[in-house]
């Protein structure tokens, strides 16, 4: 049988429970065999902003997903040079797993911008898109091609990486917003400290 693979792309700076709940919920809803988390290389939407080294974001993602047998983390984007485009991510994963069927998971904020993404047409041929709810954003499929996107309600987690970084910078806790191992990794590597 064709394997069903979820793909969760993100900057993951740091990865938090909003990302993990969304992936877990979609995996259950669509009976996915696996969800691959793909930290971005150089995030083109965030160029100019300070982003932690790809290796730190990758390792935090590994730590956060290690305990779930159906979650894994891919280096495809961080090992490709140049900016990360989702169409390239999906093309690379497709060539590694040619028989798999892909489900690209994206939050309501990212979904509303999807038409501005690079090589949109190609993206929709490579994966089915799953838009998930996110507190503070309206979940709409806008003018996306008919049948290419499914909207899914997931438990509301009012967590963002931006807020986590600001908390660490201000000496406030991120316990229970991110997995314990990620709290420890942030401390060990002194990330987000001014």
Residue 34 binds to ligand ATP (criterion: CB under 6 A): no
Query: Where in 97-136 is the site for ligand ATP (CB under 6 A)?
Result: 106-107, 109-110, 132, 134
Place of tokens 């509301």: 156
Binding region for ligand ATP (CB under 6 A) out of 29-37, 65-73, 140-148, 158-166? 158-166
3-state secondary structure 104-130: EEEEHHHHCCHHHCCCHHHHHHHCEEE
Question: Which lies closer to ligand ATP via its Cβ, residue 25 or residue 100?
Answer: 25
As measured in angstroms, the least distance from the Cβ of 76 to ligand ATP is: 16
| In the complex, minimum distance from the CB of residue 98 to ligand ATP, in angstroms, rounded to a whole number | 25
Contact with ligand ATP (CB under 6 A): which of 160, 167, 181, 189? 160
* Strands (E) located in 48-193: 71-73, 101-107, 128-132, 149-152
Of residues 2 through 31, those in contact with ligand ATP by CB under 6 A are 10-13, 18-19, 22
> Of all residues in this chain, which one has the CB nearest to ligand ATP in the complex?
107
Tell me which DSSP letter residue 42 carries: B
The CB-of-30 to ligand ATP minimum distance in angstroms stands at 16
- For residue 168, count CB atoms less than 10 angstroms from its CB and return exposed for 0-12, middle for 13-18, buried for 19 or more: buried
Strand order in the sheet with 101-107: 71-73, 34-39, 4-10, 101-107, 128-132, 149-152
Alpha-carbon gap, residue 28 to 94, rounded angstroms: 22
Residues in contact with ligand ATP by CB under 6 A are 10-13, 18-19, 22, 106-107, 109-110, 132, 134, 157, 159-162
């Amino acid at each position: 049988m064709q394997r069903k693979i979820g793909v969760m792309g993100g900057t993951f700076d740091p990865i938090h429970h909003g990302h993990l709940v969304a992936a877990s919920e979609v995996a259950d809803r669509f009976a996915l065999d696996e969800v691959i988390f793909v930290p971005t290389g150089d995030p083109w939407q965030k160029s100019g902003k300070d982003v932690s080294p790809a290796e730190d974001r990758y390792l935090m993602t590994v730590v956060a997903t290690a305990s779930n047998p159906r979650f894994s983390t891919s280096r495809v984007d961080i090992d490709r040079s140049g900016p990360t485009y989702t169409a390239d991510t999906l093309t690379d994963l497709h060539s590694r797993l040619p028989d798999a069927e892909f489900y690209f998971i994206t939050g309501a904020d990212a979904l509303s911008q999807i038409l501005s993404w690079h090589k949109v047409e190609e993206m929709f041929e490579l994966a089915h898109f799953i838009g998930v709810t996110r507190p503070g954003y309206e979940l709409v499929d806008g003018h996306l091609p008919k049948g290419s996107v499914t909207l899914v309600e997931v438990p509301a987690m009012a967590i963002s990486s931006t807020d986590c970084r600001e908390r660490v910078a201000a000496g406030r806790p991120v316990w229970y917003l991110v997995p314990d191992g990620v709290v420890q990794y942030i401390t060990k590597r002194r990330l987000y400290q001014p």
